[in-house]
Structure 1
Amino acid sequence: MIIPKYIKKGDTIGVTATSSGIANELKQKRIISAKEALEDKGYNVMLTDNVFKTDWRGCSGDGKSRAEQFNGLIDNSNVSAIISAAGGDYLMEMLDYVDFEKLKKNPKWFQGFSDNTGLVYPIVTTCDIAAVYGCHFGDFGMKPWQKSNEYALGVLEGSTKKLESFKTFESERHEYITGYEGYYEDEKVKWINAENEEKIEITGRLLGGCLDVIVFLLGTRYDGTEQFIKKYKDDGIIWTLESFNMEDVVLITHLWQMKQRGYFKYAKGFVFGRPLMYNTWIEQPYKEAVMSILGDLDVPVIFEADIGHKGPQFSIIEGAKAKITSEGGKGVIEYA
């Protein structure tokens, strides 16, 4: 596994819109605030031309143009890390034009979540380069910064190797009023061990992202799962997953599909983030739906972890080795 060089003060962070562009005025203010905040930390920030552009679908451009913006940041020797401007839809349209071979020759960090799983997952499984499933660039624009911001920058710098679960999370999305809002403190964080274990401790290599997107990639040339899990079978795989908008039937079906393909045969355990939107017509809890497929694997499963759409979220270095501990409703991830 190639771990890109950690960033340091004086380096340039590239920001590009791999999915949606930022058209909302308050969100644009947030991007500008993020740029200023990271420049105050000693970094240079380069925004590609598409960050503030959007078409009728909400995309920052067609797939080819988005890939060209991304490839330009790969080409730029001054750029040490690339962070997505936002999530959205249709990132997969750019994949045919992304120069993955050039990225292999010049590995650098890519960070994003949600639809950006469409890049994170192939970078990890087909290029064998670690990538970060974590916040978008705009989150650095909140004032003041919260613990999650310090974690996110610290992970990219290599100075943060241990992340402890947050105290609270926001239970639903909120509209911005100033553009600088932090995460709302609506509910207490409580990690859940599926079988009510007093303590779960899992060590292995991380793999995952947003399930809604991973299933789009299954069986395509951007799905390197089989080669990845085979290469790292001695480490074992910790699946770090979350879903954006899946009802119980869809969730169960896609987990079954991945299981049938053999993707879980080297699993050491599973860590599920808080689902943003989950619907069920039979009042089937999320945990019950997941365990109907994974329950016979005889590996630990954790729910309600700090991963994904209900922030704050951890920066998950997909592809890296880590130890994850869940005890007493609290969780810790420690990178090797």
Structure 2
Amino acid sequence: MYIPKFLEKDDVIGVTAPSAGYTEQVDLTKLESAKFNLAEKGYKVIETDNVRKCEKGRSSTGRTRAEEFLSLMDDETVKYIVSASGGDFLMEMLEYLDYEKIKSNPKWIQGYSDNTGLIYPITTICDMATVYSGNIGDYGMSLWHEGVKNNLKLLEGRGIIQHEFDLFENEYVKKITGYEGYNLTDKVEYEYISTNKAENFSGRLLGGCLDVLIMLCGTKYDKTVEFVRKYREDGIIWYLESFDLSAARLQCALWQLKEAGWFEGAKGFLFGRPCFFMEEYETDFNEAVKTALDSLGLPIITGCDIGHRPPRMTMINGLRTKVKFDGKHLEMRYTELDGK
């Protein structure tokens, strides 16, 4: 597993738009604020030409998005690449990526939602650690949430232990200034929904947004089975979250990945809070997940701080991870960061 070099002061952070870009003033303000806040931490931020563009949900053509991303990979001063935004059409850039070039110059690549389509193939094809956490706008809030602080600490190589947060954003409130933090209103509640309630489990972390993963499954960019078999000795801890899968679609998606061999050698599952979810057949989210996966006999935890409903833990694809959960409180640490 290629683990990029941890960040040091004066390193350069590159922002690009593999999916949608920014055109609304509030988003542009968040971007400028993020650049200022990261400069205060000792980092210089640069951006590709497509970050401040968006037409029909795309910052630019698939080829252009790939070229601008690869320009940051080529830039020896850039040590950390963060996506501007999510969206729907990132997959259009995949055919234009040079995976050998990416592998030859490992650096941290981060985003969430549609950016699963970039970071997941990079981990499974290039055997390189990538980051599922906030896009650049999270760094733009005036007062950083603990999850944002933890994100940067981990990429600086500080082996902190992540815990569940107290409150989460259950209702999206339109940002007005661009400097706002999360709208934290509801109590965070993790829970075991599985028959197996093992207090400790470990493995290599892997996952992302289910809506995107099922699109990748079975394509030429799907090297999941090869990846999980390579690391069969460690096993995989899967973290998954959904944007707008219904109860039926969620069960079908998990069935698809299971039958495709993705969960071979799995050690456990962490599920983030769904962004939009519709109950069907009198089935809620937890029952849908349990119905699909409990037969595997593995621990399954839901309600986790992952993905679309912040705050967000920093999920690093590919790293060895230990999870401890007593039914209420969770600890997650990356053993390869211990002592750094």
Could you tell me how far apart the structure 2 residues matched to 1:332 and 1:270 are?
14
Alpha carbons of 1:253 and 1:328: their partners in 2 closer, same or farther (altered >3 Å)? Answer: closer
Structure-1 residue corresponding to 2:338:
none
Partner of 2:152 in structure 1?
A: 153
- Equivalent pairs counted in the alignment come to 335
The alignment status of 1:115 with 2:102, answered yes or no, reads no
C-alpha distance in 1, partners of 2:196/2:231? 27
Deviation at 1:293, TM superposition (A): 1.5
Q: Matched residue of 1:279: which SS?
A: coil
Superposition map of 1:124-139 within 5 A: 124-139=123-138
C-alpha separation in 1, matches of 2:21 and 2:169: 24
What CA distance in whole angstroms lies between the structure 1 residues aligned with 2:215 and 2:194? Answer: 30
Tell me, in whole angstroms, the C-alpha distance in 2 between the residues paired with 1:217 and 1:196. 30
Match of 2:25 in 1: 25
Residue type at the aligned position of 2:10: G
User: One-letter code of the match for 1:117?
Assistant: T
1:143-179, CA deviations, whole angstroms, 9 ceiling, x for partnerless residues?
1111011111111111143111111100022100211
1:245 is paired with a residue whose SS is coil
1:198–1:31: structure 2 CA closer, same or farther, 3 Å change rule? Answer: same
What amino acid is aligned across from residue 54 of structure 1 in structure 2?
C
Q: Is contact 1:189-1:330 (8 Å) kept?
A: no
Compared with structure 1, are the counterparts of its residues 289 and 70 closer, same or farther at alpha carbon in structure 2 (3 Å cutoff)? same
In 1: Cα distance, 2:27 partner to 2:328 partner: 33
2:288 maps to 289
Any idea what SS the aligned residue of 2:292 has?
helix
1:147, 1:265 → 2: CA distance?
34
Instruction: Give me the CA root mean square deviation.
Output: 1.2
**What does residue 50 of structure 1 align with?**
50
Please state whether the residue corresponding to 1:278 is helix, strand or coil: coil
Q: Which amino acid aligns with 1:12?
A: V
**CA deviation map 1:206-239 (0-9, x unaligned):** 1100000001111112111011000001101100
Instruction: Identify if the C-alpha distance between structure 1 residues 196 and 293 changes in structure 2 by more than 3 Å, giving closer, same or farther.
Output: closer
Q: Is the 8 A contact 1:193 1:200 kept in 2?
A: no
Whichever residue aligns with residue 27 of structure 1, its letter is D
Structure 1: unaligned runs, 5 residues or longer: none
Q: Tell me which residue corresponds to 2:200.
A: 201
> What is aligned with 2:245?
246
1:50-89 equivalence runs, <5 A: 50-55=50-55, 57-89=56-88
What one-letter code is carried by the residue in structure 1 that aligns with 2:39?
E
Q: What are the equivalent positions in structure 2 for 1:93-108 lying under 5 Å apart?
A: 93-108=92-107
In 2, Cα distance between equivalents of 1:78 and 1:123? 20
The answer as to whether partners of 1:111 and 1:131 remain within 8 angstroms in 2 is: yes
Q: 3-state SS of the aligned residue for 1:238?
A: strand
Match of 1:142 in 2: 141
Q: Distance in 2 between matches of 1:43 and 1:262?
A: 41
1:199–1:328 CA contact under 8 A, matched in 2: no
* Partner of residue 320, structure 1: 319
Deviation at 1:265, TM superposition (A): 2.0
TM-score (normalizing by structure 2): 0.96
Aligned-partner SS, 2:126: coil
What is the TM-score with the length of structure 1 in the denominator? 0.97
Shift in Å at residue 196 of structure 1? 7.5
State how far apart, in whole Å, the 2-side matches of 1:248 and 1:144 are.
Answer: 36
Gaps of 5+ in 2: 336-340
C-alpha deviation, 1:329, in angstroms: 2.3
Distance in 1, matches of 2:323 and 2:162, equals: 10
- Give the aligned residue type for 1:21: G
Asked whether the 8 Å contact 1:200–1:326 carries over to 2, the reply is yes
Distance 2:26 2:308 in 1: 19
Distance change in 2, residues 1:266/1:313 (3 Å): same
Distance 2:323 2:329 in 1: 11
The residue that corresponds to 2:14 in the other structure is 14
Contact preservation (8 Å) 2:2, 2:127: yes
Q: For residue 329 of structure 1, what is the amino acid of its counterpart? A: K
User: Which runs of 4 or more aligned residues in structure 1 lie more than 4 Å from their structure 2 counterparts after TM superposition?
Assistant: 196-199
Kept after mapping to 1: 8 A contact 2:108/2:129: yes
Identify which range, 193-202 or 248-257, moves more after superposition: 193-202
Aligned residue type for 2:88: D
- Find the aligned partners of 2:57 and 2:323 in 1 and give their Cα distance: 36
C-alpha separation in 1, matches of 2:182 and 2:329: 19
The letter for the 2-side match of 1:248 is A
